[in-house]
Every structure is written in C-alpha cells, then in structure tokens.
Amino acid sequence: MEITKPALAGTLESSDCQVTVEPGDGKIDFALESAVINQYGNQIRKVVMETLNNLGINNVKIAIVDKGALDCTIKARVEGAVSRATDHFENNLWGGTGK
Amino acid sequence: MNPNKKRLRRTMMFLNAQKPGLVKDPYIYNPDSIMLDLEDAVAENQKDVARFSLFHALKEIDYRGCERVVRINGLDTAYWKEDIRCAVAGGCDAIRIPKTESPEEVRAVEAEIAIAEKDFNIPVGRTLIMAAIESARGVMKALDVCESSERLFGIALSGGDYTKDLQTRITGTGVELMGARQNMIIAARAAKVQCFDTVFTDLDNMEGFRKEVETIHLMGFDGKSIVNPRQIPVVHDIFTPTQKDIIFAEKVVKEIEEKREKGIGVFTVDGKMIDIAFYDGAKRTIELAKASGVYKGEL
C-alpha cells in the first residue's frame, strides 16, 4: 500500500496516542514523543514497525505522540492513520497480513 | 446449543469501543458482560477508525471472563457488515443489533456472522446475537424477534429511542416503559431467551436506580444495561439470591425429589405449601446462586 496523503488518527487523551503519517522519502522516518520514552521507546518503535510491515508500508513519515497507550492501541492508531492515508476501510483482512 | 447462551448476564456495561482509557480494564468492576459500542458512542467522523481499536482490544486484552458483546451500527447504515467482520475476527462473544424491528434483520446479521466465522476460522456458531428493541414496532414484534435465530440469546430494551418513538420521555417513574417491559419479558420467556432492561442515565440518583432495578428484577428480567461502574454492585446485590432464598430453594428441591419417590404430590416446607410447580423456580435459584458464586451446597 502507498501513502498518498497526510492523515492522522488517535487523540491526546490518557491511554491513547496520536499517530500522523505522510508520504515518505523512500524509507520509514519514525518520530516519537512520550513521557515514558526511556522505559518503553524501543517497545513502541517495535510495535509501530511490525504494524507497518504487516500493512506492507515501507515508505512513510510517521510521528507518534504517546500518552501511555497499550500495544493494542498503538497498532489500532497506526492502522487507522494508514487507512485514512490510503482510503482503505472496507474488506479488511482482519488479523491477516498484506492488507 | 452454544453453552454460553444461558450464561449469567446481570450487568452489561456500555463502553465506547474507540476510547482506549475505557476499554483497557473494565473487568476490574466485575460486570458480567461488557458492550463495546461502535454505534451511538462513536462520532460519525471516527467510525472509519473505531473498528481498528475494537479489533485489537478484542485480540489482546484479557477481559478475565467478562462476556464481550459488540454493538454494531444499524442495518440502515453502510457500516454494519464490516462491523460484523471485524468483531467476529476479533473473537467477540456476541453481536448486539440496534433498532431491531423484524426477524429478517436478525437473520441478515446471522448470515453475515456465518460468513465471517468461516472467513476468519472461528468455530461456526460461536458468535451469539442479542437484539435491541428501540421502537413501538420492535416491541410489537418482540416474540418474532426472540424466535428468529438459534444464535439469539436475548433481547434488550433501549428506553431512550423507544420513548421518543412513543412520543413521550423518560420520567423516572417507569410508567412510560411499563408496556414495553411487560411485553418484552413475556415474549422472551415464551421463546426461552433472556431479557435485559434499559440504561438508567441519572447517575447521581442511586436511590431511584435501586428502585428501578428492584422493579425489573421482580418483573423477571435477567439483567440491566449499565453506563457507570458504580451501578454494578447494586444490580448484583439485587439479582443475586440471598442465603435465605438459597436455603429455602435447596429444601424445596430436595423435598420434591424425595416426596416424588414416595408418591406424595403436595406437602409443606417451612410452613409453605409446596408442589411440583415450585421445582423449576427453586432449581433456577440454585443455578443463579451457582453462577453468581454464592452457592456452597451440593445440588
């Protein structure tokens, strides 16, 4: 899937995270802002990269503002932002790969 | 039959499916069921992404035995089929259909669930259905809805929309809901499915809430929809049999079984006249006590 336009998903409420995606420069540019970046930064990065990989996205600028989100929320917000950036909402292969 | 069809459902707590702060740990309040809402709680401009939150919450959060029901968007929207695919793929326990008015709607949902179960390798028949009744027509069709599908475990009154349709309002007295409640519980019992009461939204009026729960308990309802965790202990308190009820029910069951062998049909227990007609009710009290975790006997 190709990111063709900027999109955002999630909020800045506690336990949530806000994910912004926009077209990349041929690679994945990852930026993270989090109060727990020292404790969980690597884990958040890992979850984001795995989610992008499952979606078949390797060319994107992605910025996360984390407010204490669980892994399941991070995955949901990344997928939500990518869906908005690609206009892909129906017939998802829920839990499958290569959406 | 799916063994979960008759499970204990005293409380069903509504949660906005796309609010991470709400869906991450509702089990700490011990509701019997949680209702992850994709419908009214989700703003129109968030419908597109709410399913992702739902799917991953269902897949990854351990709800510790709470039943996970998903309220899908109405069958008059573009969302409901993908809602079902997402919820079934996530492994939800049941789908709640809003604004149900006919058995055909239940069967349409049933067909989509069956396709999704096949597509996502979920055992066929695992996903149950409940139907929300929210209109005068729905109340009049309650029995047909109750008998529409083997997957349907119950019906629930949605008082807000129903009173609008009836051209009245929620008064706090219950008078405006009297007919619907009576009709629905009779229909549910005739079809041998469960029946659930509407939410009580005046959150500071705990006395009024308790009275309403006592009323619907006496009417025969199986449980109530909940919008705030502090309502849960009140419902559980009223719906859980007391030790006095349990001891009496135990005596009734034992006596009826003993006397039946001796050919005696009518006798007294603690000064009350008892016959076979009391048997099912006493058994139900024991079953409810067991399901509520308060039965320590041997029956």
More confident site: A87 or B115: B115
Has residue A39 got a pLDDT over 50?
Answer: yes
Q: How many CB pairs under 8 A join A and B?
A: 72
Mean pLDDT, chain A, rounded, equals 92
- Once rounded to an integer, what is the mean pLDDT over residues B243-262? 91
Has residue B246 got a pLDDT over 70?
Answer: yes
* Cβ–Cβ below 8 Å for A76 and B53: yes
* Cβ–Cβ below 8 Å for A71 and B120: no
- What pLDDT, on a 0 to 100 scale, did the predictor assign at position B67? 97
Has residue A27 got a pLDDT over 70?
Answer: yes
Which chain B residues are within 8 Å of A13, Cβ to Cβ? 19-21
Question: Residue B250: pLDDT band by 50, 70, 90 thresholds?
Answer: very high
Q: Helices (H), strands (E): how many in chain B?
A: 12, 10
Q: What are phi and psi of B267, to 5 degrees?
A: -155, -175
Mean pLDDT, chain B, rounded, equals 95
- What pLDDT, on a 0 to 100 scale, did the predictor assign at position B126? 96
- Residue B44 marked ligand-binding: no
* Cβ–Cβ below 8 Å for A76 and B57: yes
User: Domain range for residue A48?
Assistant: 7-86
Element (H, E) at A71: helix A71-86
- Non-local (6+) Cβ contacts of B93 within 8 A are B4, B33, B67, B68, B69, B126, B127, B128
Q: How many domains does chain A have?
A: 1
> What value of ipTM does the predicted structure carry?
0.93
Of A16, A70, A79, the CB nearest to B52: A79
A84 contacts chain B (CB < 8 A): yes
In this predicted model, what pLDDT tens digit does every residue of B26-71 receive, in sequence order?
Answer: 999 999 999 999 999 999 999 989 999 999 999 999 999 999 999 9
Nearest-angstrom CA–CA distance, A30 and A50: 13
Topology of the domain comprising B3-239: TIM Barrel (3.20.20)
In this predicted model, what pLDDT tens digit does every residue of A48-65 receive, in sequence order?
Answer: 999 999 999 999 999 999
CATH number for the domain including A43? 3.30.230.10
The structure's pTM equals 0.92
For B38, the 3-state DSSP assignment is: coil
Question: Residue A96: pLDDT band by 50, 70, 90 thresholds?
Answer: low
* Cβ–Cβ below 8 Å for A83 and B48: yes
Give me the residue spans of the domains in chain B.
3-239, 243-291
Within 10 angstroms of residue A26's Cβ, the number of other Cβ atoms is 7
Kindly state the percentage of chain B with pLDDT values over 90.
86
Has residue A88 got a pLDDT over 90?
Answer: no
Under a CB-based contact definition with an 8 Å cutoff, are residues B150 and B118 in contact? no
Has residue A99 got a pLDDT over 60?
Answer: no
* Cβ–Cβ below 8 Å for A83 and B20: no
Which chain A residues are within 8 Å of B120, Cβ to Cβ? 94-95
- Preferred mutation among A55, A92, A94 to probe B, highest tally of B CBs within 10 A: A94
Measure Cα distances from A56 to A2, A53, A97 in Å: 8, 5, 8
